[in-house]
Amino acid sequence: MGTDALPRPSFGLALVLIAPLVIAAAPAPKAKSSAVAAGAACMAGDPNLAIEGCTALIEAGGSSIAEQTAIYVNRGTAFARVGMFRLAMADLDRAVTLSPGVEMPYLARGTAAAQAGRFDQAVNDLTQAIAIKPDLAAAFRTRGRVYSKKGDYARAASDYTVAIALEPHSAVGYNGRAWARHLAGQDKLGLPDANKAVDLAPGDGEALETRAEIHEKLGNRAEAEADYRAALKTDPKMQSALDGLKRLEQLPPAADPPVAPIAETSPVVGPANSTAVAPPADVAKPASESNAAPPPTAEASPPAAAVDAKADAAAPAAAPALVIVQPVAAPAVVDAPSPPAAADTSNPSAVAADIAALTPSDTGAAPPSIAETSGPDAEPLPPETAKPKAKRKAGGTAKSSAKTSKKSSGKSR
């Protein structure tokens, strides 16, 4: 809960015990009426009336030990509520002395000690009350609140858990455990308890303020503001709720959720895109593909520049998403001499000229001499390129080879 103030002690726990006793102890009708009035005042919710009524009963005297114990408990509790802790502790000490084996004086004195900030004394008195009456839910709740004030949130939650088990329909236990978990930084665990407390007591301002602070810590701004305003309806002067609203007003406006980007509709060129456009069929494919045709022969291969020009012309001009696969450049065509035409064996002069035109590497023979290569179809060599006369013997070999060829040609015919 937003404030650290402990819950007001319930006068009913003690006053329900003394009301019939006071009436029974009255000796006469007039005294009975005055005693009833004093007893009613001693049990009043107004602490000032309670102090007046209890004081009248003490001064009247004639009460039993049990009655005196209850009267001192009630007046001591009333003194604590108005902040008169010295008088409160005096009355409560007297009640403990009168009935050391009764749990109620310890519960009242422990509560007053907690309100006065005497937490160690409060824990001792409340523990003694629990020892006398183990099912006293009010003692567990009050001690849980004291542990929260001491910063021992684990023990506080444990005491509230016992109190909830003893009185499952009390919103105080759920509200106290929710607050202890909030102080321990366990707001997600505390929120269900806060919701339960509000469900059990929808008009309880402290339960609403507790849940508001938990929502604020969790970042639930709208829920926190709603609970703070609901708590202020029960008590317009609740400072913790006013402070909570002020904190929320100082927060920056909530940012709009991020907008998801719109998916691109145009295909992205790449190997992972299944919608990529395939290249035209007339564009050359790389030679590494398994179904590629064997490279053309040297005589039939077009120049590399012609292949590139054909590929460029085949590519569509307005297709930015098309991937043009450039063909592997064909090897440069080397101009090789055309193979010699088949010899015309019907003309011996033509056969001799063809044989004379062969290079030495084709025939394996020595180059012909000037005399043997001269003729009507041969071009004369310049004088400076004439071969030495020593080479003419080799030329003779060529001439005899030509004659031999003529004879063999005649045989083939």
The helix or strand, by DSSP H or E, that contains position 370, with its residue range, turns out to be: helix 370-373
Domain topology for 1-133: 1.25.40
298: exposed, middle or buried (C-beta count within 10 Å: 0-12, 13-18, 19+)?
exposed
User: What is the rounded CA–CA span in Å between residue 87 and residue 396?
Assistant: 157
Evaluate if residue 369 carries a pLDDT over 70.
Answer: no
Predicted pLDDT at 273: 47
Query: Which residues fall within 8 angstroms of residue 233, CB to CB, at 6 or more apart?
Result: none
SS3 198: helix
Residues 6+ apart with CB under 8 A from 370: 380, 381, 386, 387
Share of the chain above pLDDT 90, in %: 49
Could you tell me which residues come within 8 angstroms of residue 59 by beta carbon, excluding any fewer than 6 positions away?
Answer: none
Structure tokens at 369: 């001499």
Alpha helices in 135-270 (DSSP H): 137-150, 153-166, 171-183, 187-200, 205-218, 221-234, 239-250
* Radius of gyration from C-alpha coordinates of the chain: 59
Average pLDDT over residues 226-248: 97
Residue 136 CA to its chain's centroid (Å): 45
pTM score, whole prediction: 0.58
Cα distance between residue 112 and residue 99, in whole Å: 18
Report the alpha-carbon distance of residue 34 to residue 15 in Å, rounded: 17
Query: What is the pLDDT, as a whole number, of residue 251?
Result: 87
Q: What is the mean pLDDT of residues 237-266?
A: 80
pLDDT digits (tens, 9 = 90+) for 204-236: 999 999 999 999 999 999 999 999 999 999 999
The confidence score (pLDDT) of residue 258 equals 64
Per-residue pLDDT for 179 more than 90? yes
Q: Is 371 exposed, middle or buried (0-12, 13-18, 19+ CB in 10 A)?
A: exposed
Q: How many CB atoms lie within 10 A of CB 308?
A: 15
| pLDDT tier at 63, thresholds 50, 70, 90 | confident
Q: Which of 85, 55, 48, 52 is nearest to 72 (CA)?
A: 55
- Among the listed ranges 42-51, 332-341, 347-356, which one has the minimum average pLDDT value? 332-341
For the ranges 19-23, 25-29, 231-235, the maximum mean pLDDT occurs at: 231-235
Superfamily of domain 151-251: Tetratricopeptide repeat domain (1.25.40.10)
Reported as a single tens digit per residue, the pLDDT across 258-270 is 666 666 555 555 5
> How many whole angstroms separate alpha carbon 67 and alpha carbon 118?
28
Distance between CA 393 and CA 2 in Å, rounded?
131
In this structure, are residues 117 and 128 in contact, taking their beta carbons and an 8 Å threshold? no
* 129, 136 contact by CB (below 8 A): yes
pLDDT tier for residue 46 given thresholds of 50, 70 and 90: very high
Residues 6+ apart with CB under 8 A from 369: 387, 391, 392, 394, 395, 398
How far is CA 199 from each of CA 10, 178, 179, 193, 196, rounded to the nearest angstrom? 22, 13, 16, 10, 5
When pLDDT is cut at 50, 70 and 90, the band that residue 338 belongs to is low
Q: Give pLDDT, residue 225.
A: 97
Angle between helices 221-234 and 205-218 (to 10 degrees): 160
Taking a C-beta distance cutoff of 8 angstroms, is the pair 412, 342 a contact?
no
Q: What is the mean pLDDT of residues 303-315?
A: 48
Q: Report phi then psi at 340, rounded to 5.
A: -65, 140
Q: Is 371:349 a contact under the CB 8 Å cutoff?
A: no
Other CB atoms within a 10 A radius of the CB of residue 394 amount to 15
pLDDT grade, residue 182 (50/70/90)?
A: very high
Asked if pLDDT for residue 252 goes beyond 50, the answer is yes
Please report the pLDDT score of residue 37 as a whole number.
Answer: 86
Q: What is the rounded CA–CA span in Å between residue 97 and residue 74?
A: 15
In the DSSP assignment, the letter for residue 102 is -
Same fold, 1-133 and 151-251: yes
Residue 35's pLDDT is 74
Give 245: exposed, middle or buried? Use CB within 10 Å, 0-12, 13-18, 19+. Answer: middle
Per-domain residue ranges of the chain = 1-133, 151-251
- What percentage of the chain has pLDDT greater than the value 70? 53
Question: DSSP label at 118?
Answer: -
